[in-house]
A and B are shown apart, each in its own frame.
Chain A
Amino acid sequence: MRARALAAPVIVGVAALLAWEVFVRVGRVAPFVLPAPSAIFQEFLRSFDVIVRTGSASGMNVLVGLVAGTLLALGAALLASRFGLLGEVSAPVVAAANALPIIALAPILNNMFESTSSIPRRAIVALVVFFPIFLNTLRGLREVDPTHTELMDSYAASPWAFNRLVRLPGAAPFFFTGLRQASSLGVIAAVVSEYFGGLQNGLGSRITAAASNTAYPRAWAFVVGACALGLLFYAAALLLERLATPWRRASS
């Protein structure tokens, strides 16, 4: 079952790559329109060191932004669930803010800091990851089983005990759903914000640089690197979720 679940996407992926290769070769597609996967792969191997180095720089931006944004979102969600009015007022504001293209702030933030600073990118990542984590966690904190409330009342449990034993663990699965969404969004935000000016140490800046030099296979190779980085963060979030919420794997 597990092997089959793994085999299906691998087969589809390989088939798609083959089709792409055949399409480019048979159709004589110009490399600046669409390079063949084999060309991208060669370029990926040749630039591997640079991809790893720039990928680590981007990864560090994602990590710092993700951690900062997560902590902020958790704190805000706790406050909003604790003070009902605050939650009611903030929910529509947060929903509206969530609809804004935060990425659009990148060039503006870049100009606010020195050109050698990584802060603007990390701030963008933190902002982008804030929303899914805040909204999911808040929902989890608010969804308490009425039976649990009565049970804790019957024990005359303190509000602190109620939060620690019922509300927080109950919200954990919601938080991790938010974190999973945030991990992918964070990588996108970091790479795209590197498209704009400032420090040239990330994957994003290499993608724009290669593309403007018409080195398309090279640009694609860095895109592959960005994909790998996204997968890495997603997998890490998934792993964290599995470790922290073991009861969810344990269904009959």
Chain B
Amino acid sequence: MIELSGVTKVFNAGRPGEVTAIAAADLSVAAGEFVSLIGPSGCGKSTLLRLIADLAPPTTGSVTVAGKPASAARKDRSYGMVFQKAGLFDWRTVQRNVELPLELRGVGKGERRRRAAAMLDLVGLAEFAGHYPAQLSGGMQQRVSIARALADGPPLLLMDEPFGALDEMTRERLQGELLRICDETGTTVVFVTHSIDEAVFLSDRVAVMTARPGRLTEIVPVSLGARTEEVRQSPEFFAAVTEVRRALRGPSVPVQAEQK
């Protein structure tokens, strides 16, 4: 579904204040896979997601999405995106917010309605179709934005810390819902987060990044089987969390120095 090879991103290249945001990233994500990008602030995980989304061009290297160059994939609407802020249009009802991608593709009104209703069903907000975003809680708004991202039926979902602004309880509930939705729709997901628990609970693989310069240092496979809430207390879960934590520290930082 996604192929990154030799991707780098340098801001202000050749000028004062040159910053290497991403140094040589290679990553491939298979269809139906759930991959998280995790790392400290400033490691370039959001930048990497934006390169996949073609919201910014890579400095070198190539990005292929759904078998096409990233720019063609964007024009073909091959992915839906969910941001940290829900980014709903205040002036539209929930229903009409979900219809947005369909409207942009010129889908007729009846089909739009039907499709948006199905999406709202999927995220459990059918009875809020006529509400305005300001009438919903943050968690509900984020569910609407997931419904919007999926409305056009894209094979790929790109999520940039979508639950970062939510409280822990809402967050865990939405994680469970997201997994169910992905199961039902077979969507591939690339998920940016800075929470180790979140990355481990959601992902098939966790791609670990370190900062300055942003580097994909390790990919930790996670195999937890069916993700029930009980999984969060299982030894396998803790083992995977420990593994990701170790990868985040990196081999270059001795544990002793960290503890001081």
Say whether A and B bind each other: yes
Give Cα A154 to B81, complex, Å: 7
- A145 CB within 8 Å of chain B: yes
Chain A positions within 8 Å of B104 at CB level? 155, 157, 161, 165
For the complex, is A166 an interface residue (Cβ under 8 Å from B)? yes
Complex formed: what's the CA distance from A24 to B259 in Å?
Answer: 83
CA distance A147 to B131 in the complex (A): 21
B131-A250 in contact (CB<8A): yes
Given contacts A155-B104, A247-B133, A250-B135, 18 further A-B contacts (CB under 8 A): A148-B89, A150-B81, A151-B81, A154-B55, A154-B74, A154-B80, A154-B158, A156-B74, A157-B104, A165-B104, A169-B89, A169-B91, A172-B91, A247-B90, A247-B134, A248-B90, A248-B134, A252-B135
| CB closest residue in chain A, given B134 | A251
B85 within 8 A of A: yes
Expressed in whole angstroms, the Cα–Cα distance for A247 and B93 within the complex equals: 8
Indicate the size class of the contact surface on chain A: 20 to 34
**Docked-complex contact A252 and B134, CB < 8 angstroms:** yes
Cβ of B53 < 8 Å from any Cβ of A?
Answer: yes
B90 touches A153 (CB 8 A): no
- 12 CB contacts below 8 A, A to B, read A150-B55, A151-B81, A154-B80, A155-B77, A157-B104, A165-B103, A165-B104, A166-B89, A172-B91, A246-B132, A247-B92, A248-B134
Q: Collect the chain B residues with CB atoms within 8 Å of residue A150's CB.
A: 55, 81, 83, 87
Q: CA of A247 to CA of B91 in the docked complex: distance in angstroms?
A: 6
Which 6 A-B residue pairs are closest in the complex by CB-CB distance?
A147-B87, A250-B132, A247-B132, A154-B81, A169-B91, A251-B134
Q: Are B53 and A154 in contact (CB under 8 A)?
A: yes
CB of B75 closer than 8 Å to a CB of A? yes
CB-CB under 8 A from A147, the residues of chain B are 83, 85, 87
CB nearest neighbor in A for B74: A156
Kindly list chain A residues whose C-beta atoms are within 8 Å of the C-beta of B81. 150-151, 154
CA distance A124 to B126 in the complex (A): 52
CB of A163 within 8 A of chain B?
A: no
Q: Complex Cα distance A252/B134, Å?
A: 6
Contacting residues, chain A, for B55 (C-beta < 8 A): 150, 153-154
Q: Is B100 an interface residue (CB 8 A)?
A: yes
Q: How far is the CB of B157 from chain A (nearest CB, A)?
A: 11
Does B44 reach chain A (CB closer than 8 Å)?
no
> Which listed residue (A153, A156, A157, A170) contacts B91, Cβ 8 A?
A170
Provide the bound-state CA to CA distance between A166 and B103, in Å.
13
Instruction: Report the separation of the CA atoms of residues A29 and B160 in the bound assembly, to the nearest whole angstrom.
Output: 73
**Complex interface bits, B43-76 against A, C-beta within 8 A gives 1, otherwise 0:** 0000000000101000000000000000000110
**Contact of A245 with B by CB under 8 A:** yes
Across the two chains, which residue of chain B brings its CB closest to A148? B87
Query: How far apart are the CA atoms of A153 and B53 in the complex, in Å?
Result: 9
Kindly list chain A residues whose C-beta atoms are within 8 Å of the C-beta of B74. Answer: 154, 156
List the A residue with the shortest CB-CB distance to B130. A250
Chain A residue, CB-CB nearest to B148: A151
The docked-state distance in angstroms from the alpha carbon of A232 to that of B133 is 32
CA distance A43 to B240 in the complex (A): 87
Residues of A contacting B92 in the complex (Cβ-Cβ under 8 angstroms): 169, 247
Contacts of A246 in B (CB 8 A): 132
Q: A residues within 8 A CB of B90?
A: 247-248
Q: Residue B191 at the A interface, CB < 8 A?
A: no
* Cβ-based interface call for B79 (8 A): yes
**CB-based nearest A residue for B91:** A169
Is A250 within 8 A of B134, CB to CB? yes
Q: A1 to nearest B CB, angstroms?
A: 19
Using A150-B55, A251-B135 as known contacts, say yes or no to A156 and B75 having CB atoms under 8 A apart.
Answer: yes
Query: How many angstroms between the C-alpha atoms of A201 and B14 in the bound complex?
Result: 71
- CA A214 to CA B68, docked complex, whole Å: 86
CA A148 – CA B104 in complex, angstroms?
14
Q: Is B101 part of the contact surface with A, judged by Cβ < 8 Å? A: yes
B131 — which chain A residues lie within 8 A by C-beta? 250
Option from B79, B87, B133 in Cβ contact (under 8 Å) with A151 = B87
Q: B75 — which chain A residues lie within 8 A by C-beta?
A: 156
Known: A247-B90, A247-B91. A156 touches B77 (CB 8 A): yes
CB distance from A152 to the nearest CB of B (A): 8
User: Which of chain A's residues 164-220 have a Cβ closer than 8 Å to chain B?
Assistant: 165-166, 169-170, 172
